[in-house]
Amino acid sequence: AELLRMQRGGCHPKDGCFEKRKKFRGADFPYLAANVTDEKTGKPILKPYTVWRHKGVKIGIIGLTLKGTPDVVTAEGVKGLKFADEVATIDKYAKELDRQGVKAIVTLVHEGGMPASGAYNDDCDSPGAGAGISGPIVDIAKKVTPKVDAFITGHTHQAYACTIADPAGNPRTVTSAASFGRLYTDTKLTYDRRTRDIVRTPVARPHATNHVVDRDRPKAADMTSLIARWNALAAPIANRPVGYTTADINGRGSEAYEKPLGDVIADSQLEALAPADKGGAQIAFMNPGGIRSDLAYKAAGSEGDGVVTYGKAFTVQPFTNMMQTADLTGAQVISVLRQQVSGAVNGPQPKILQISKGLTYTLDLTKTGADRVVASSVKLDGTAIDPAKTYRVAANEFLMGGGDGFTTFKEAKNKRVGASDLDVFLAYLGAHSSKAAPLSPPKADRITVVK
């Protein structure tokens, strides 16, 4: 309902309008969702494609998300929706556009890959050990009909500009501009007015380059005014102090598998759900992708250094997922940990869960697959996890629904719903920090990594 409102306009379906006599008119561009259909009607919930026209030139743009969307969002968030295969969906609408005389086609898809190089402007096609790209987008690009001339991709938050041959052997551009507006991709394609199509031959090789988005530009007056208006509306809530820290607490900004902020969040969830009348949790797990920001020490606005505002806390935990506590056997707890480093979903980059205090284990990177989590090392308060024993485990509803490929959570029994992840995080900051005694970053020593 909220997505449709963003497209069509109107007030928030639950909260109503935030400003008197001001009603959102809807986006002035189309949201595209070619492979997202209503389970009852079978029809796309939004337009599957759009056609850009300029001086006789027509470019078809197909937009879709990844087939695995239900694995990365809450079950409630996609209730009543179906997510079709990317290749079949693209082929279907490319054929439809072709019948309409639209020969030049670009696909926007929320699926991506992992480049061999970490350079923001690396050319994947350059020879050498650092060339190439892997991941789901490679198979998609190799299989999709040659009618599609280029892919603009995402999801993995990586930067790449590559050429992947289509089924006919023609070069096809595949790009990604990292994430959060840090880069933009300049793509050059040659359009033939006679054939009304993009020229894709080794001679007319498509070219794309990523560029850094710098801040050395005049501010856009309209956007500056819009942001200022909404900042003023949000200020009383956003600027309210909710805690204090002694330094930055990293949640995303480090290469370590265990993040200090991940420990804080997992501890907040354990503390909130440990009481018997709240769920009786003994262990808490937090998905790393749900930590959307570091907790910065430096003041971002009118507050002083070390002050954690509601706005900062919300930036860290913006999804308002409801917490759940459920029964898992010791064997299932070990299975959850092993799913971090095994299975197609978690792929080349393990999704290492953040864990609450008391839980410890060894991650041995000299081994392969699930064996990288040493089962005998998994302990709770110094005692080895008993595979036959039942433990009360806390996690947000995304994880409990099997999100990020952690399917063992779906086997949990006796679930109990608690407060939201944001609420328990705020409560923890309030209980464990003050101006006189701010919170220090934890040691992040629960996972022993062997390399």
Query: What's the whole-model pTM score?
Result: 0.75
List, by residue range, all CATH 3.90.780.10 domains of the chain: 241-450
Distant-in-sequence, close-in-space partners of 164: CB < 8 Å, separation ≥ 6: 133, 138, 141, 142, 171, 172, 174
User: In this model, does residue 262 exceed pLDDT 70?
Assistant: yes
Distances in Å between the alpha carbon of 171 and those of 140, 166, 195, 338? 14, 7, 18, 39
Fold of 32-212: Purple Acid Phosphatase; chain A, domain 2 (3.60.21)
The model's pLDDT over 356-414, given as tens digits with 9 standing for 90+, comes to 999 999 999 999 999 999 999 999 999 999 999 999 999 998 899 888 889 999 999 99
* pLDDT of res. 144: 98
8 A C-beta contact, residue 35 and residue 42 = no
In the numeric block, the tokens 């928030």 are attached to 12
- Residues 52-74: what's their mean pLDDT? 92
- H or E segment to which residue 164 belongs: none
Q: Which two tokens stand for residue 389?
A: 């024993």
Instruction: Of 250, 285, 296, give the one whose Cα is nearest residue 393.
Output: 285
Q: Which two tokens stand for residue 381?
A: 């308060």
* pLDDT of res. 84: 98
List, by residue range, all CATH 3.60.21.10 domains of the chain: 32-212
The model's pLDDT over 1-58, given as tens digits with 9 standing for 90+, comes to 889 999 999 998 888 888 888 889 999 999 999 999 999 999 999 999 999 999 999 9
Crossing angle for the helix pair 86-99 and 136-143, to the nearest 10 degrees: 30
pLDDT band at 346 (very low <50, low <70, confident <90, very high): very low
Instruction: Of 124, 166, 148, 112, give the one whose Cα is nearest residue 347.
Output: 112
Distant-in-sequence, close-in-space partners of 295: CB < 8 Å, separation ≥ 6: 245, 248, 249, 250, 251, 261, 264, 308, 312, 313, 316
**CATH architecture entry for 241-450:** Alpha-Beta Complex (3.90)
Q: Which two tokens stand for residue 177?
A: 């501009």
